[in-house]
Amino acid sequence: MNKTFLFVLVLYASTALIAGDSLNVKTIGSYESSTLAKYITISGDYAYLSCFDMALKIIDVSDRTNPIEVSHYQTTDFYNPNGIHVSGTNAFLAYGFDNDSTGMAVVDISNESGPFEISYTPTELRAHDVYVSGSYAYVPECLGLCIYDISSPSTPDSIGYCEISLLSHPQCVFVSGNYAYVGGTKTLKIINITDPHKPFESGSCTVEPYVWGVFVSGNYACLAADISGLKILDVSDPSNPAVIGSYDTPGSANAVYVSGSYAYVADDFAGLRVIDISTPTTPQEVGYYETPNIALDVYASHPYAYVTCQSKGLQIYEYGELPVSVKETQAQQPCISCSLNKLIYDVAEKTDLRIYAPNGRLLFVTQISGKGAVDFSNKLVSGVYFAQLSDAPGNRVKLVIMN
């Protein structure tokens, strides 16, 4: 008689515990702001937030489990900061919303507890984002890309401008090497900034419907493309960028940040999505967390992700492979060529059952109800898998897989 070992994973699931995560992404800290948090960047032990009605908040995140506000800076002239970038002892903020003042502010943050503005440079139209590289700041406004010499932060000097079609409506910018990558309506523009005094368009790629965020890593650009989710472009030839991979997130991608082999996406009402981009042509989601409010922006330093969630301020998450903790039992199996791959369930009502690999990648979703079993013999190889029920309070699920 042949003997085989079965591994049994028992999950006690409730909506309160599982509605918000994929088991391998967990919340480790949060800071609820009195104002609506929009954009974020991290420098050292501090998170810098731009908020709807407050220019800048500085949060100590040295203890990720207990982020604490250190200070804030609010101007009387400007109301809606947009993008934010920290370089050295200065924070650069892009301003502009509706009829508000528009431009770039520079705030001295050398003393985190006492930030103060040292300069403000107006732009002709709304400034949506800012990226600092070396001695230059790059600011996309409604009709083009503005370039400023910030070698003297107290007196930024406008030195270059690249006109971009009004139909493109630039929203975001990322600088890598001699190129600035500008996202907007239905497009990504690649601007040659070798000579910052004379920038010019090198190439472009159509990306529907909007590009709200861009992050360049090596030869690839990852785009947060609204309802189209994550788009990955090969930009090895800046004159001919091309989409080579995509992942349709369940929400509306607002921002993306790449750390290691992972793209962290702020996916609006669908929260934080973690996507493995080690194979750029076939990105795969490996984890998620449904944030307490819509996810607007994200900064990541693997395995940690910092997400702005409007009224819920700053949320801090940790991604990691699922812990393989199972109970070993013994069972008899009359046929050695057979494999046992089944999940036994007993649920009170119809619900979705999600099966994940140990790295958090969603393998498939099936609907179950009542008592029964799902046979995985034609869907999974032997190993350990993780099950998650949605909207199934109090249910008990057993996952039984032969190893």
Assigned domain for 312 exists? yes
Q: What CATH number is attached to the domain comprising 132?
A: 2.130.10.10
Give the pLDDT band (50/70/90) at residue 324.
very low
Q: Which domain, by its residues, includes 357?
A: 336-401
Q: Is the same domain home to 230 and 277?
A: yes
Note whether 134 and 255 are same-domain residues. yes
Average pLDDT over residues 25-34: 91
Say how many domains are in the chain: 2
What pLDDT, on a 0 to 100 scale, did the predictor assign at position 142? 87
Q: In this predicted structure, which of 20-29, 98-107, 114-123, 382-391 has the lowest mean pLDDT?
A: 382-391
Task: Tell me the per-residue pLDDT of 285-308, one tens digit each, with 9 for 90 and over.
Answer: 988 999 999 999 999 999 999 999
Residue 264 counted as domain residue: yes
- Cis peptide preceding 209, ω within 30 of 0: yes
Report, as an integer, the average pLDDT of 109-126. 93
Say how many C-beta atoms besides its own lie within 10 A of residue 315's C-beta.
26
pTM of the model: 0.83
Asked if residue 378 is part of any domain, the answer here is yes
Last residue of a domain, one of 319, 352, 368: 319
Is there a single domain that holds both residue 185 and residue 264? yes
Is the same domain home to 310 and 372? no
In this prediction, residue 396 has a pLDDT band, given cuts at 50, 70 and 90, of very low
Token pair of 156, please?
């930024």
Residue-wise pLDDT tens digits, 334-384: 222 334 566 777 777 788 877 777 666 778 788 888 888 777 777 777 666
Last residue of a domain, one of 291, 319, 347: 319
Three-point CA angle 12, 13, 19, nearest 5°: 155
Asked if residue 207 is part of any domain, the answer here is: yes
Same domain, 360 and 272: no
Residues 275 and 348 in one domain: no
> Is 252 in the same domain as 360?
no
| Cα distance between residue 93 and residue 60, in whole Å | 19
The pLDDT > 90 percentage for the chain reads 62
Question: Is 275 within a domain?
Answer: yes
Domain identity same for 167 and 47: yes
Tell me, yes or no, whether 32 lies in a domain: yes
**Distance separating alpha carbons of residues 214 and 366, to the nearest angstrom:** 34
What percent of the chain has a predicted confidence (pLDDT) above 70? 81
* Banded model confidence at residue 333, pLDDT cuts 50, 70, 90: very low
Residues 114 and 222 in one domain: yes
Among candidate residues 273, 288, 319, the one where a domain is terminated: 319
Name residue 339's amino acid. S
**What is the per-residue pLDDT across 195-212, written as a single tens digit (0 to 9) for each?**
999 999 999 999 999 999
- Is residue 43 domain-shared with residue 101, that is, in the same domain? yes
Do residues 302 and 356 share a domain?
Answer: no
Residue 6 inside a domain? The answer is: no
Task: For residue 391, give the CATH number of its domain.
Answer: 2.60.40.10
What pLDDT does 91 receive?
A: 97
Would you place residue 166 in the very low, low, confident or very high pLDDT band (cuts 50, 70, 90)? low
Q: Look at residue 344 and tell me if it is in a domain.
A: yes
Residue 325, pLDDT > 50, answer no
